[in-house]
Amino acid sequence: MAFALEITDLKKTYPGGVEALKGISLSVNEGDFYALLGPNGAGKSSTIGIIGSLVTKSSGSVKIFDVDTEKDSPLAKTMLGVVSQEINFSQFEKVIDIVVTQAGFYGISKKEALPRVENILKRLSLWDKRDQQARTLSGGYKRRLMIAKALVHEPKLLILDEPTAGVDIELRREMWSFLKEINKNGTTIILTTHYLEEAEQLCRNIGIIDHGKIVANTSMKDLLGSLNVQGFVFDLQSPLEEAPVIDGFPIKLEDSLTLIAAVSKDRSINALFDELSKLGIKVKSMRNEANRLEELFIEMVNSNEK
């Protein structure tokens, strides 16, 4: 099976000498939902820019479904859809015209494009706004329009650069469900995001890029499995005045009714429950502490800096 994306020893040095990519290599399987994470300035947008022909590479190769983006650029481009980080459509045109025009750039006639555009705009709740000038849309709808534009030629690989930045929670959830659906229907998706919860919720595999180098490229499950310590949040039935001291389990009192405990991989959570029971502390409910990925991410980026 061909990789949806195969990057080999990709380097980019900008005029002025900034070395954004120092020879990254990564591959993404067909049908995957892949997260590319990294702090600001790590090289994510340069990588996406090179894949989408918006940035000129210094060296290395990029293949989309085994087609080299340099040797057969038109074919590679027809298989790729990119949702850029910044709004990149004419704000003075109507929503429907923007999407139909984008289809035309991919060689899809207006007659052929119109039913597709209607379908995509309806799925993204933009159909009612089709005759509005794009500048009158709210930020969230502009993001949806970016996605509609990237999907109109039915690409096999969709890359989204921070698609939910600045989008409210409800809309973010809607977009997640939309992306999950198109991934289920066969589109390979790569996304960069600052919301690590988003990557954890959506993606099966993950690459972490920092200072122009790949510092991790693995499955989300393995990566999370490599966490030595997991945080658990306990909602208590009765208030406490101070955190209990239990040997081997660092615990802090978040508020009088909430405890947060760190449980290392070699310890059982049952043992913690036993200890809490012995102290007469009754637990009403328990959940994983959010941002497990965030801990790992910070850990990896910090160790790379060292």
Partner 1 sequence: MKNNPSIRIGLWTLAVKEIRRFLRIWVQTLVPPAVTMSLYFVIFGSLIGPRIGSMEGLDYIQFMIPGLIMMSVITNSYNNVVSSFYSVKFQKSIEELLISPMPNWTILLGFVIGGVCRGVLIGFIVFIVSLLFYPEFTVVNPLLTITVLLLTSILFSLMGFLNAVFADSFDDISIIPTFVLTPLIYLGGVFYSIKILPEFWQIVSKANPMLYVVSTFREGMLGVSDVSISFSLGMILGFIGLLTGASLYLLNKGSGIRQ
Residue type, 301: V
How many residues bind to partner 1 according to rule CB under 8 A? 32
- Kindly tell me which of 26 and 80 has the beta carbon lying closer to partner 1: 80
Among 13, 101, 125, 218, binds partner 1 (CB under 8 A): 101
- Residues 100/110, Cβ–Cβ less than 8 Å: yes
Options 28-36, 50-58, 175-183, 275-283: segment touching partner 1 (CB under 8 A): 50-58
Options 97-105, 166-174, 195-203, 295-303: segment touching partner 1 (CB under 8 A): 97-105
What does the block give as tokens for 270?
A: 């049952």
CA 3 to chain centre: 19
Helix extents (H) in the chain: 44-51, 73-78, 95-105, 110-123, 139-151, 169-184, 196-202, 220-225, 269-278, 292-305
55 near partner 1 (CB under 8 A):
yes
The residues in 117-156 that bind partner 1, with binding defined as CB under 8 A, are 149
Options 32-40, 75-83, 261-269, 296-304: segment touching partner 1 (CB under 8 A): 75-83
Residue from 140, 124, 138, 220 nearest 172 by CA: 140
- Residues 248/274, Cβ–Cβ less than 8 Å: no
16 near partner 1 (CB under 8 A):
no
- Kindly tell me which of 64 and 175 has the beta carbon lying closer to partner 1: 64
The CB-of-54 to partner 1 minimum distance in angstroms stands at 6
89 near partner 1 (CB under 8 A):
yes
